[in-house]
Amino acid sequence: MSEYILETKGLTRRFGGLVAVDNVDMCMKSGELVGLIGPNGAGKSTFFNCLTGFYPPSEGEVRFMGSPITGLKPYQVAKLGIGRTFQNLRIMPNMTVFDNVSVGSIGSVGHSLRRAVWPFRCRADEEISQRTWDILKRVGLDSLAGELAANLSYGKRKYLEIARALATNPKLLILDEPAAGLNEQETAELADFIGEMNADGIPILLVEHDMGLVMGICHRVMVLALGRKIADDTPKAVQKNPEVLEAYLGGEECQY
């Protein structure tokens, strides 16, 4: 068994002539909370989509828990245990908060076709229901379980999206810009929550535009700029890295 939960070697993704992710090597150990940051257009979401099967890489390899997962489809990657959120929320607005989360649980409690016959279905349904309540409590949405997702505030929808990812019982959680659109206080609360999930034993790769969020909670921070990895270090060292400062200050949208 590899000592790494997640590893990429030479990961590259091109769109026509554009190299969105350029020969990126990374690795992550199982207890870690790792930040992946970079200015807009750095290739973060593309990297993320290559890890989770949404884009096949043009070159390179992705390994999860020691096995290659390069080229697998998103549902296969999810089934192996990589949970994800999307930069643009993908919750189902016309379903209740409860149903949004319970849908995610279905695959994680062995609810196979074979089991979908009475009386086993009842047992599986109960298990899903219990799991859903546990997760809703964990993210602080249990009192809103019966609300339509569309009626939630933007900040609460972010937690719903995380709850949906947790429902799949992930061995690794990858979050794409979870703080986008949140105010300072909401961002600080979300940072605490992400830190708690990690302390509870879930390895997390946190993809963020906002340096502030990752610096307080991540053990290690990798920085992408124009598709290339330009730093991989402790938060403190990354904050002082001249190439990183240049990438951020030189960008159109300076957050730091």
The residues binding Mg ion (CB under 5 A) are: 44-45, 87
Instruction: Report phi then psi at 75, rounded to 5.
Output: -65, -30
Alpha helices in 115-200 (DSSP H): 120-139, 154-167, 184-199
Confirm or reject binding of residue 154 to ligand ADP (CB under 6 A): no
Confirm or reject binding of residue 45 to ligand ADP (CB under 6 A): yes
Which among Mg ion, ligand ADP, none contacts residue 38 (Cβ within 5 to 8 A by kind)? ligand ADP
- Tokens 């992550």 correspond to 28
Q: Output 21 or 109, the one with its CB closest to Mg ion.
A: 21
- Tokens 């091109």 correspond to 14
To the nearest whole angstrom, how small is the minimum distance from the Cβ of residue 49 to ligand ADP? 7
To the nearest whole angstrom, how small is the minimum distance from the Cβ of residue 55 to ligand ADP? 7
Eight-state DSSP code of residue 107? G
Q: How many other CB atoms are found less than 10 A from the CB of residue 20? A: 22
Closest to 144 in 3D by CA, of 155, 118, 246 = 155
Confirm or reject binding of residue 42 to ligand ADP (CB under 6 A): yes
Which among ligand ADP, Mg ion, none contacts residue 41 (Cβ within 5 to 8 A by kind)? ligand ADP
The single residue among 11, 22, 38, 84 that binds ligand ADP, judged by CB under 6 A, is 38
Contact indicator for 39, 247 with CB cutoff of 8 Å: yes
Contact indicator for 229, 37 with CB cutoff of 8 Å: no
The single residue among 44, 111, 131, 156 that binds ligand ADP, judged by CB under 6 A, is 44
Q: Output 45 or 105, the one with its CB closest to ligand ADP.
A: 45
The single residue among 41, 155, 181, 251 that binds ligand ADP, judged by CB under 6 A, is 41
How far is residue 166's CA from residue 136's CA, in Å, rounded to a whole number? 10
Residues that bind ligand ADP (CB under 6 A): 15, 18, 20, 38, 40-46
